[in-house]
Amino acid sequence: MRKKIVAGNWKMNMTFEEGQTLTSEILNIMKDEHSGDAIAVLNPPLPHIFPVKKLVGEAKGVFIGAQNCSDKEAGAFTGEVSAKILASFGVQYVIIGHSERREYFKESNEMLAAKVKLALANGLIPIFCCGESLEIRTAGTHEPNVKFQLTEGLFDLSPEDFAKIVIAYEPIWAIGTGKTASSEEAQDMHAALRRHVASKYGKDVAGNTSILYGGSCNPKNAQELFSKPDVDGGLIGGASLKSRDFVDIIKSF
């Protein structure tokens, strides 16, 4: 059975004090107001992981994720952090292949496939990102382009390993461009991705795969987006930095 997930990606934001305050506010609001079965995954910058993990403790429905991991197991790779190290700190999820990593750091499908395998080998749940630019969307080649990202990044996995994956669809063309992705456009792409997974792993695996929407989801549009049959939650950027907004998104199911 697929999970309802709202993952907050803090990106490169929050001082130590701000991160502690944000986490405490989220936990307190969720304790008082959230009674649903949707889970929250907090993905802070790396230095926050241990202190945020300590604050979260055994809080129901709240998990810790990292924004990235290395494609190498260990060794002389200054500045990198391995999946094994993340797991040793109690991290449960890791974002892999975010559009910013693909664009700014030129991460290839081959590199991302290696990251996914290392994450799984160390007990982490990958949130695997895929999506298309405005140019690709305008050209009408968005569906095959995004399917190719899944094929190259994930389709070497066994059915058992693939069943642990969470997919996050990012319509890059709808983030900071002035254009808006409708809930119908989100549903169409999510359904296409689920069909693509089914073509490789079968309907049961595809039906149990959580597919999150990562295109400027906020408290105003979350309920409409989450009402779509193939949208299982969101990968939240800016709104995850505001405790009230983030919990309201979680409560939108």
**98 an active-site residue?**
yes
Strand boundaries in 50-124, DSSP class E: 62-66, 93-96
Scanning the structure block, which residue is given the tokens 């190259």?
152
Length of the chain: 253
Measure the CA–CA gap between 165 and 210, rounded to whole angstroms: 8
Q: Quick one: tokens of 102?
A: 């693909």
Measure the CA–CA gap between 65 and 49, rounded to whole angstroms: 8
Give the helix/strand (H/E) hosting 175: none
Measure the CA–CA gap between 218 and 94, rounded to whole angstroms: 22
Indicate which residue of 34, 98, 190, 196 is catalytic. Answer: 98
Residues paired with residue 7 on neighbouring β-strands, in sequence order? 41, 235
Burial of 34 (0-12, 13-18, 19+ CB in 10 A): buried
Indicate which residue of 100, 107, 132, 170 is catalytic. Answer: 170
Residues 6+ apart with CB under 8 A from 93: 7, 41, 43, 63, 64, 65, 66, 124, 125, 126, 127, 166
| Vertex 100: Cα angle to 55 and 85 (nearest 5) | 45
**80 an active-site residue?**
no
Measure the CA–CA gap between 13 and 96, rounded to whole angstroms: 18
Active site residues: 98, 170
